[in-house]
Amino acid sequence: MGKKIIKGALVINRGISEHKDVLISGKHIEKIDANIQTKANYEEINASDLWLMPGIIDDQVHFREPGLTHKADIGSESRAAIAGGVTTFMEMPNTKPECLNQTLLDEKYLIASKSSFANYSFYMGVSNNNYDEVMKTDPRNVCGVKIFMGSSTGDMLVDNPTVLEKLFANVPMLIATHCEDENTIKNNLNEYILKFGDNMIPEVHPLIRNAEGCYLSSSFAKDLALKHGTRLHILHISTEKELELFNNTMPLIDKKITSEVCVHHLFFCDKDYEDLGNLIKCNPAIKTMDDRDALLPALLDDTLDIIATDHAPHTWEEKQQPYLKAPSGLPLIQHSLTIMLDFYHRGLITKEKIVEKMCHAPALCFKIKSRGFVDEGMFADLILVDPDKSFQVTKDNIFYKCGWSPLEGRVFKGGVNTTFVNGTKVYNNSGYFLQGMGMRLSFDR
């Protein structure tokens, strides 16, 4: 395989932005320097007007395979991912069947090995009844164990206190939690059903799945983790109140309890239900403007650690059902960087902080081997970004299998020009895609 040289890009890495050349040899970054001499057998890529970033690592996605492939599949959504600059994803276990044993986990890895456009890992799922299977999970080859501590589909709600104690005490790897208090949700739902019957509107969603429910569950998870010394990662923080559970007094690599915020909780608020309705119905709910506006400062001061998507597509037809029947979740993985670049152009975040929270921090948090940085010797998961090119989100440029986005019609500035996965160009914005270059993640644990 010939070598590639990316010339003159503004390389954003480890808090510094400077123009450099990057030499790629095979799957890895061989050299980074101010002026690398081009040789006859090098493929030269002129990137003098572009940024070069590590590929984005998304630690929370739902790609719906197996069993729900009318909504999405690993091939379709990883294709959308690389178009959005995401070169690595970690996928959730609530598929059909739920990923609750090692055989089903291995089957997902086999599917991805044949169809994924990006690097991949899959969470092991947990129920009240599969402790022995969970404990067989290899921390070196699986991103984490996922516990739904609030409403979930199927058999994945873990609400048995004895089981939770046992898991938090003994699981030898990262536990990622969805935290919403089940009793709070049920009581609120019953109250609003009595009030509105079947005529509920999406605006009630953050009142049913409210801040109190999030805080009760997140604080319970934190208490368990502190009691047992668990490596805990709390997903999709959506409220101002929850921020008091986390600290920024130590480096990320020293934290035992970490947190993630999703782009939709940074971008939307409850005022958007009027126009978007069920399209932004998700769990945990998009909440008040005050909640939204508290999250970005907490990200900037390192109270919150990681930016992700919780990409969770459903068909357009499913989302057009009445509120009580419409499923929760929205497609976002193609547009997470788009949203963060919008914040950059509005002066709300630096490009260096975007890279820290979307690339470096997930790699450090999960201890991913040799990814997440533009460093010599690392896998060449890289994206070239045109920071100034404007585009409108339309059906013609949405790559999700579901074919829609809550951002449709909006105009954004900045987007992905080219994506490299393991040293191979897998996407450019002229419509080129290459499948099958993704690798299974390994972890330094």
Q: Measuring CA to CA, which residue among 421, 424, 412 is closest to residue 439?
A: 421
Helix and strand numbers (H, E) in the chain are: 14, 18
- What pLDDT is attached to residue 155? 79
| pTM strictly above 0.75 | yes
- What pLDDT is attached to residue 153? 67
Give average pLDDT by consecutive 10-residue segment, the chain, 445 residues: 93 99 99 96 97 99 99 99 99 98 99 99 98 98 96 82 98 98 96 94 98 98 99 99 97 98 99 99 98 99 99 99 98 99 99 99 99 99 98 98 99 99 98 98 98
- What pLDDT is attached to residue 360? 99
- What pLDDT is attached to residue 2? 83
* CATH code of the domain made up of 56-364: 3.20.20.140
Cβ–Cβ under 8 Å, residues 3 and 9? no
Instruction: Report the alpha-carbon angle 79-82-87, nearest 5.
Output: 120
The CA distance from 444 to 370, in Å, is: 9
Q: Measuring CA to CA, which residue among 327, 298, 323 is closest to residue 313?
A: 327
The CA distance from 95 to 79, in Å, is: 19
Instruction: Report the alpha-carbon angle 332-338-340, nearest 5.
Output: 100
The CA distance from 144 to 124, in Å, is: 6
Other Cβ atoms less than 10 A from the Cβ of 26: the count is 14
- Tokens standing for residue 432: 């080129």
The CA distance from 431 to 428, in Å, is: 6
- What pLDDT is attached to residue 286? 99
Side chain identity at 149, as an amino acid letter?
A: M
Cβ–Cβ under 8 Å, residues 91 and 61? yes
- What pLDDT is attached to residue 217? 98
**How many Cα atoms occupy the beta-carbon half-sphere of 409 within 13 Å?**
3
- What pLDDT is attached to residue 440? 99
Instruction: Report the alpha-carbon angle 185-188-190, nearest 5.
Output: 105
